[in-house]
Structure formats: structure tokens, C-alpha cells
């Protein structure tokens, strides 16, 4: 039996702020007369992540069941609830917006991986995206158990596994965790398990003090 690998997870449940400006009229007394002045008033609308500690824990449980054959366990280390400007002032986070938030929020998982939860992320990987070199992934708002299944796939990317393309000659890929599209199963091959267990991220997690 292989030694269990435990990977801490920092969860960021992000509330995005959308700013808009409204022009309002203001009456101002000037001597005996009144003047109308137009003022720009800033309004901020919050877009919450649609997740909480419980749904994130449940998603990590689902991911752990999928990763169990590899003897890899993800463990919630800390949850953060940042409120930040929506990149580009739009509700849907793009890939470039994802990288922008990593910089703005100074997300640098040391001895861990980080998972960002937002209300809407552009359709990639069926709702998620991973920056392997940074150890950070993002997922859109999904229900149970799809959130966990998507998280498990993104964790796979963080552990150096690439997407598996559609193979017209075989359906095996369709049942694999790393299948590029909607998948029929969550299987991991022994090659994938070896690759994940020996990935750069696992080395970084175990090297960090």
C-alpha cells in the first residue's frame, strides 16, 4: 500500500463587486435661487460566490472519494472570504480575470493548493480552470456533487495531469477523471496515479517547512 499523500487546500470564497455610476440631481441654494447640480454617485453591487464552508467541505469530500484510489487526500486548511473588485467590472470571471485576482488577492499557496470559488466563471473545462504552475484553480458555482467532480478534475491539473481528448476508437477516456468534456466516470489510470503522486506540486507540498 502506498503512503497516503495529504494536500492542504486554501479555499477562497470570493464576493465580486460590480461598480456602476448613477447621475443624480441635487438642488443647491445659491442666494435666493436654487441651482440644479448633477452628481455622479457610485453604486456597488455584490456578487456572492454561492458557496459556504459546508458546500466547499462537501465538494472536497467528493473530490477525495474520486482521488482515493491514488491515496491522495485533500484537506481544507483555511477558508478565506475576500470581497474584491470584479475583474473588468463584469460578473463572469474570464481566464485573464482569474490571473488578475490571483495577483490582487496575493494568492500564493505555500505547501498547499488554492481553490477559488466564484459565482460565474467562463465555460472552460465544464466550469473550472487550473493554473498548474501557481497551484491555483477556480470553479464556477455548481451544485453537489458536480462542484466536487469539477474540483477533482482541476486538482488533477494541479497535480500535472493533462486533459484526455476524445478518442474515436475507444470510450475509455470518457470514463476518466481527466476527460476534456462531460464524463461518464471518474477513473484514474495507474499512469495518472504515478504522475500525480510524483508531481511537482506534491514535491512542493512536502518540501515546504
Interface residues with Zn ion (CB under 5 A) are 125, 163
35 phi-psi bin (left φ>0, alpha ψ -120 to 50, beta other): beta
Closer to Zn ion by CB, 79 or 94: give it.
94
Minimum distance of Zn ion from residue 111's CB (angstroms): 24
Minimum distance of Zn ion from residue 180's CB (angstroms): 6
Q: What is the largest CA-CA distance in the chain?
A: 89
Minimum distance of Zn ion from residue 179's CB (angstroms): 8
Q: By CB neighbour count within 10 A (0-12 exposed, 13-18 middle, 19+ buried), where does 14 fall?
A: buried
Which residue is closest to Zn ion by CB? 125
Q: Are 128 and 24 in contact (CB under 8 A)?
A: no
Give the closest residue to 180 by CA, choosing from 150, 159, 208. Answer: 150
Minimum distance of Zn ion from residue 95's CB (angstroms): 13
Closer to Zn ion by CB, 92 or 163: give it.
163
Closer to Zn ion by CB, 112 or 164: give it.
164
Closer to Zn ion by CB, 78 or 123: give it.
123
Amino acid at each position: 500500500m502506498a503512503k497516503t499523500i495529504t494536500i492542504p487546500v486554501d479555499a477562497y470564497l470570493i464576493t465580486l463587486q460590480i461598480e456602476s455610476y448613477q447621475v443624480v440631481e441635487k438642488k443647491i441654494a445659491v442666494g435666493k435661487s436654487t441651482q440644479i447640480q448633477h452628481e455622479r454617485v457610485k453604486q456597488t453591487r455584490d456578487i456572492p460566490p454561492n458557496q459556504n464552508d459546508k458546500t466547499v467541505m462537501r465538494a472536497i469530500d467528493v473530490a477525495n472519494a474520486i482521488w482515493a484510489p491514488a491515496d491522495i487526500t485533500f484537506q481544507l486548511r483555511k477558508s478565506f472570504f475576500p470581497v474584491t473588485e470584479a475583474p473588468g467590472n463584469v460578473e463572469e470571471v474570464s481566464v485573464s480575470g482569474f490571473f488578475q485576482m490571483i495577483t490582487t488577492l496575493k494568492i500564493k499557496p505555500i505547501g498547499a493548493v488554492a481553490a477559488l470559488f466564484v459565482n460565474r466563471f467562463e465555460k472552460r473545462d465544464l466550469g473550472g480552470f487550473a493554473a498548474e504552475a501557481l497551484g491555483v484553480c477556480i470553479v464556477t458555482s455548481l451544485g453537489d456533487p458536480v462542484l466536487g467532480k469539477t474540483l477533482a478534475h482541476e486538482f488533477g491539473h494541479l497535480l500535472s495531469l493533462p486533459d484526455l481528448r476524445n478518442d474515436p476508437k475507444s470510450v475509455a477516456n470518457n470514463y476518466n477523471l481527466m476527460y476534456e468534456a462531460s464524463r461518464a466516470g471518474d477513473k484514474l489510470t495507474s499512469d495518472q496515479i504515478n504522475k500525480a503522486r510524483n508531481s511537482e506540486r506534491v514535491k512542493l507540498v512536502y518540501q515546504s517547512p
